[in-house]
Each structure stands twice: as structure tokens, then as C-alpha cells.
Amino acid sequence: MRLIGPIVRFAGWFALAGCIVELAGRLVARNSALLNLAGAAPEPWLLVALAAIAAVATVAPPAPPSKPGRTYGGAGPHTNVVRLFLLLFAAGLAAQLHFGARLQSDGFYYFAYLRSITFDGDVEFSNDYKLLGLGDKPHLFEPTPTGYAQSAWTIGPAIVWSPFFAAGHAVAIRLNRTNPDVSTNGISFPYRQAVCVAGLFYALLGCWFCYRIAARFYTDRLAATATAITILGSFMIWYIVKEPSMTHAPSMAAVSAFMLGWLSTRTDADGGWARTTRQWAWLGLLAGFMTTIRWQNALFAILPAADGLVMLVVAWRAGHMARVKRTLLVGALFTVCAVIGFLPQMIAWNSIYGSWLAVSPVGPQIRWWDPHLIDILFSSRNGLFSWSPVLYFGAIGMVIFTAGRPALGLPMIASVALMTYFNASVQDWWGSAGFGGRRFDGTIPMFIVGVAAFGAWAVEAARRHPGRVMAAVGALLAAWNLALMSVAHQGIVRIGESVSFGDTSAAQARELHGWFGNPFTYPVSLGFAMRNRVGPSQYDLLGVNRIYGDPLQPYGRIDIGAGDQWVLGTGWHAAERGGDGTTFRWVAQGATLLLPLDHAAPTTLQIRLHAFGFPGATPQALTVLVNGHQLAPLPVGPGWEVVQIDTDAGIWRAGVNRLRFDFTWSARPADVGLGGDPRELAAAVDYVRVVKR
């Protein structure tokens, strides 16, 4: 009986490891050991369930000790961490299989570093780009001053991926023995999939660091809950299981490690004075290295820098010159070590561009003078809060945290604010084809602390004011029911019939959105609605799709008949498509249109249209009103044509502009012998275009 516990635990660990090996094999080697051995391959999520059972088995009760004071078993805190890590690792592998995780997007450019250094011994990526299928991007092959291919990407991911890349190489060699199509030159799928596994590993490592950070201030349970909610409720989970070859997982892990180091080497009583010289050096090295993973991670150096500034001011005011000198010395040491940590990138730059510090011409512009601060946080185009509402609460929580611990909270808020400004200044501030506010990966540990702070406050508020909580829940349920009544009244949901909950709830959600908009864009969307006299829900599209918002694109076009509902007012008929593929809409004698502009400017207004023609029709003319300002009438013929008129900046406004198209006359086809169409038609409109003069 004494051996039952150890046997069960051993079997549990063995089964847990076996599930991970099986899942990793399917992902990296595209092969199933179970299928080869037993002729059956269970579904990945069944393997995760088995892994969970195995994890439970590893905590089987130990046998009674044979000697007083002696214990058996592996249920200590470190063992629990390993157990949970392995279980989550198995679940992550299954999720990557489910979502088809692979090397993609910017991951190719980071991967090029790893492949080139390993197999070519250089950072000249011309052959690597071609091997990776990027040969059709000529801008990458514009020679640098040293004759190398271009690169706007960092070397850090290649460094942290390298152990997994080596494992992928071993898998590729083994597969190549039986399948020559699996190359061993660093390009085949085992290498590519190995970096996906690396992304999962560093994500879980970063989660552990984040948990440790939050647990310094809140209970273990609340810290774990905040970590799980923030990761699963934000863009991070996408870059863990769907696009793990991006840099976001290792970046989050590196910044989390840096923040944990910052917190662990200071005390609330002494601040940065408790930090030893060696600890300052290590923090500097980590600051430099995390910047090799993502450039903007350098901004988080403000955390220990804030300590140093406070130390310097306090020592100077106290006349303590020895402390002033030490503060300056450790600050210099931190900076030198940061440069050393960043040295791999500097060496790469020197090889590629012939300079130790370089800015690649193929990277996006940084427009410090034109940051999209509101857009990057609240817009429907990958806005940080609108896409990840949990971070909305995390931001509120950071303010709560700062109120109680300003020495820690203020540097955290400052670092998030700097990151926001930097990301908002990038040319493609929305992160291109990304999921949510992906460039905020380094702020995740701060937001986790914020979510924990908000959770602690919410629990206490609910305990003190249970009636208000009940009232809030009741209000939400009432609004949900009123939305159901509204869609039923409109006939969208037919009462008395069986209906899908998915269809019904979708209709209710659309109705609520029409009433209130997205609450996680408040207060910005409410202010936008009041300034522009539109509903809060219209902020989603009108607020972000502002023409003239990009200095490189001083024009904009609304294609009538194709995805134009968000700008249409009254007077428009259903969308149609002509024989040549042109999409258009017929308009009545008067029609209105909303046109969002980033700013007012002298503008040329162009409209492609044709008049409704029939035998005996009188000449048609169009008069355009812009925000109530009437423009000169324009003649409109029966054939497609573009009419245009130059306007002054004074008639336009930043925000939503209201255009009205007034035609001289309209007629019904049924009344002029052209069929039975009863619609009032004045003209057909193909597009409306504005060009900054």
C-alpha cells in the first residue's frame, strides 16, 4: 500500500508528459506517435482532458511517513507551478493545433534573423527572404550601404527562439531520413512550427511573472484570476495560440521579467535605495535585451528611472552628497549595461547598415507631431479598449492602485502613457492586419495589476453596497428585455415561433448598440455624438474613418452601393450593380450624406453620377449643400460623368459633415412609360470623392 501513492503520481507525470509530447509532435512534426503505435489519434482536446486527469493524479495522497518527521509527495508550491505550467502548455498546444498556428505575417522577418545566423553565419537576408517566399517584395532587396537586404525588425526574437529552433532542426533531420521533402536548411515546417511552440512557452512564462507581480499586492487567488482574465480577455491570447510567431509573447515575458525585477529589488520604505549595484546592473542588461525584442520596450526603463530620479532629488535636498554620487553612478551603470544588453541589435545594424544605430527605410514612419491618441484607445479599428474591454477596467484599476501606492503607480501609468503616445504616432497606428492593440504587449503586466486592483475594489464595493449591485444587474436585465421587445415589435424576431438564441441575442445586441453604442468607447463616443449630432453607435465608423487623417492620403472616396450604409442619410434607394460592375444607388429629388473629415481644408468635391433619362426629360441639375452652405448648381447629363466643384475650407468642419444633394426634378419610371417601377428617381450616384486642394 505504501507504493500506491508514488506509483499513481509517477503514472500521472508520465501521462502528462506523454500528452504534451503527442501534441507537440502533431504541431512540429505533423505526426502522431499514438497513431503510429496504437493506430488511433485522439482529438487534441481529449488529450488535454487526459492531461488534466493526469495532473490531478500527480497530487495523489502520499503514504504515511515511515519515520517521524519524514514526508513524501510532491505537492509543494514549486511542484504546483510546474504542474499547472505543463497543463496549460498542453492546452496551448491543442489550441495552436485548433487555430492552425504557423509562421506568418511579421514572423517571417524575425525568423529570417534566426535562419540566416544559424545556417549562413550572417545577417544578409537576401536568400532567406526568397526561401521564405518574400521574393516578390522588391523594397526588401534595395541594397543597404553595406550591400545587404533591408530589415526593419529586431534580433531579439531570434535569440529567444533559438533553443526551440534547435529542437526543430533535430525533428527535421529525423523526418528527412524518411521524407526528403522535409528539408534541413532551416525553412521546412519543423523549424517554423518550433517557433510557435516557443511563443507559447514564453507566453506562459510571462503569465507566471505577471502573476508574481500582482501577488505582491493582492491575494494569490485574485492575482491568478486577474492574470487569467487579462490574458484571455485581451489581444494577447490571439498572439499565443493563433499567431505565436509574432514577437508579442516573448515581449510580454521580457517586460514582465523586467517589471518583476524592478519591484523585487525595491521596498516601499526605502524605494530604490534598497537596490544593490549588482541589481542595477542586471536591470540594465534586461532593459537592453527586452529592447532587442521590441524597440518600444525601451520606454519601460522609466520604471527604475523614476526611482533614480526620486533618489537623486531626495539626496540633493538633504545635502547627502555620497548618496547623490551613488545615484549618479548606478544610473550610469544601468545605462552602460542597457547598452550591453542591446549590443546584439547594434552589431546586426552595423552589419546591415554600417552604423551602430540605424533607422530602416522600410519601417513605418513615426509621426511624433500627429499622434492618434483617441483612435488608438477607443476606435473600432483595433482600439485598445474597444477591442479588449478588460483593459478598460485595468486602466481604471491602475488609477485605483496609484491612489494607494503613488510611488509605484505613477511610473506605471507614465510608462503606459508613453507607450500610448509612441504607438499612436506610428504611421499604421492600428497595427495593420493585427488583432486588437497588439503593440501594447509590454503593458500587459501593468494592466494585470490594474485588473487586480479593480477586482479588489469591486469586491469591496459589492460587499458594502449590495443593493446597488442588484440594481445594476437588474438594469442590465431590463435593458436586455426591452431590446427583445423592440426587435419583436419590428418583426426581426417573430414571437410565438421557435427561434435560435444566437439569432435573437444577435438582434438584441444590435439593438442595444444602436441605442447606446459601445460602452467601452465612453466617454469619447458620447462626446463625439454630442459634437456631431449623431448617435453614439455611429462613432464606431464615422469616428475612425476620417478622410484626410493620413498625411500621405489627401483624398477620400465613398463608393456608393458598396458598404456605404454608415454614411447614408435619407433619399437613397437600394444598392444596384450595372452591367459593367459599377455599384450605385438611385436617389430621389433630395438625398443626404454624412462625410467624416479629420480636419477642414480647401476641398475639391467630385461626384460621379448620371441623371434619370427618358424621352422628353427636361435638363437635370444638382445643387450641393455642405453643412448648410449652398454651392453653385451643376448640370447633370443622362450619361455617366464626374462633376466637381472647388470649395473653401470655411464650409467644412473637423468631424461629421452633412451633404445634401438637391436635384431639379425627379420622376417615377411608371409615370413615364418605363415599366412599373414606382420609385421617385432623380439620378444614379456611383461615388462621392473629396480631394484636398
Q: Do 84 and 152 fall within a single domain?
A: no
Q: Which domain holds residue 287?
A: 107-452
3-state secondary structure of 603: strand
Average pLDDT value for residue range 494-501: 91
536, 558, 576 - which closes a domain? 536
Are 532 and 656 a contacting pair, CB within 8 Å? yes
Are 389 and 520 a contacting pair, CB within 8 Å? yes
Other beta carbons less than 10 A from residue 250's beta carbon: 28
Q: Do 591 and 681 fall within a single domain?
A: yes
Please indicate, yes or no, if residue 508 is contained in any of the structural domains.
yes
Average pLDDT value for residue range 487-505: 93
Q: What is the pLDDT of residue 76?
A: 66
pTM for this structure?
A: 0.93
**Cα dihedral 113/117/120/121 (nearest 10):** 140
Please indicate, yes or no, if residue 543 is contained in any of the structural domains.
no
Q: Do 258 and 199 fall within a single domain?
A: yes
Q: Which residues contact 372 (CB under 8 A, 6 or more apart)?
A: 379, 424, 425, 429, 549
536, 570, 588 - which closes a domain? 536
- Does an H or E element contain 646, and which? strand 641-647
3-state secondary structure of 584: strand
Please indicate, yes or no, if residue 542 is contained in any of the structural domains.
no
Tell me the backbone φ, ψ of residue 469, rounded to 5 degrees.
Answer: -65, -45
Q: What is the pLDDT of residues 432-463, one digit of tens each?
A: 999 999 999 999 999 999 999 999 999 999 99
Q: Do 265 and 363 fall within a single domain?
A: yes
Please indicate, yes or no, if residue 460 is contained in any of the structural domains.
no
Cα–Cα distance for residue pair 86/78, rounded to 1 Å: 12
Q: What is the pLDDT of residue 267?
A: 83
Please indicate, yes or no, if residue 23 is contained in any of the structural domains.
yes
Whether the bond into 523 is cis, omega within 30 of 0: yes
3-state secondary structure of 634: strand
Q: Do 78 and 113 fall within a single domain?
A: no
Average pLDDT value for residue range 109-130: 98
How many distinct structural domains can be found in the chain?
4
Please indicate, yes or no, if residue 458 is contained in any of the structural domains.
no
Alpha-carbon distance values, 447 to 209, 452, 453, 531 (Å)? 13, 8, 9, 31
Q: What is the pLDDT of residue 331?
A: 96
Cα–Cα distance for residue pair 162/149, rounded to 1 Å: 22
Task: Write a three-state SS string for 184-216.
Answer: CCCCCHHHHHHHHHHHHHHHHHHHHHHHHHHHC
Are 90 and 48 a contacting pair, CB within 8 Å? yes
Kindly state the DSSP code that residue 25 receives in the 8-state scheme: I
Are 44 and 23 a contacting pair, CB within 8 Å? yes
Task: Write a three-state SS string for 357-420.
Answer: CCCCCCCCCECCCCCCHHHHHHCCCCCHHHHCHHHHHHHHHHHHHHHHCHHHHHHHHHHHHHHH
Are 189 and 132 a contacting pair, CB within 8 Å? no
Please indicate, yes or no, if residue 253 is contained in any of the structural domains.
yes
Q: Do 477 and 415 fall within a single domain?
A: no
Q: What is the pLDDT of residue 273?
A: 82
pLDDT over 90 at 274, yes or no: no
Cα 585-513-587 angle, rounded to 5 deg: 15
- Specify which residues 658 forms β-bridges with: 594
Are 603 and 690 a contacting pair, CB within 8 Å? yes
pLDDT over 90 at 36, yes or no: no
For every residue of 664-692, DSSP letters joined together read S--B-GGGTTS-S----BSEEEEEEEEEE
Are 445 and 252 a contacting pair, CB within 8 Å? yes
Query: Which one-letter amino acid corresponds to residue 119?
Result: F
Are 518 and 504 a contacting pair, CB within 8 Å? no
Cα 505-242-300 angle, rounded to 5 deg: 105
Q: Do 213 and 242 fall within a single domain?
A: yes
Alpha-carbon distance values, 189 to 105, 115, 157, 163, 625 (Å)? 16, 13, 18, 16, 59
β-strands 572-577, 583-587 pairing: antiparallel
Q: Do 267 and 355 fall within a single domain?
A: yes
Q: What is the pLDDT of residues 56-114, one digit of tens each?
A: 998 866 655 555 555 545 556 778 899 999 999 999 999 999 999 999 999 999 999 99
pLDDT over 60 at 464, yes or no: yes
Average pLDDT value for residue range 122-143: 96
**Which residue, chain included where needed, has cell 462633376?**
643
Q: Do 448 and 309 fall within a single domain?
A: yes
536, 556, 573 - which closes a domain? 536
Q: Do 508 and 524 fall within a single domain?
A: yes
β-strands 629-630, 683-692 pairing: unpaired
Q: Which residues of 603-635 are buried (b: 16+ CB within 10 A; e: fewer)?
A: bebbbbbbbbeeeeeeebbbebbbeeeebeebe
pLDDT band at 552; cut points 50, 70, 90: confident
Q: State percent of the chain over pLDDT 70.
A: 97
CA-only gyration radius of the chain, Å: 31
Q: Which residues contact 8 (CB under 8 A, 6 or more apart)?
A: 57, 60
pLDDT band at 527; cut points 50, 70, 90: very high
Alpha-carbon distance values, 10 to 73, 84, 686 (Å)? 11, 16, 72
β-strands 572-577, 655-663 pairing: unpaired
Q: What is the pLDDT of residue 270?
A: 76
Cα–Cα distance for residue pair 410/302, rounded to 1 Å: 10
Q: Do 192 and 152 fall within a single domain?
A: yes
Q: What is the pLDDT of residue 56?
A: 92
Please indicate, yes or no, if residue 541 is contained in any of the structural domains.
no
Are 158 and 110 a contacting pair, CB within 8 Å? yes
Mean pLDDT of the residues in the chain: 95
Q: Do 605 and 481 fall within a single domain?
A: no
Kindly state the DSSP code that residue 519 receives in the 8-state scheme: G
3-state secondary structure of 557: strand
Q: What is the pLDDT of residues 368-403, one digit of tens each?
A: 999 999 999 999 999 999 999 999 999 999 999 999
Q: Helices (H), strands (E): how many in the chain?
A: 23, 11
Average pLDDT value for residue range 300-308: 97
3-state secondary structure of 182: coil
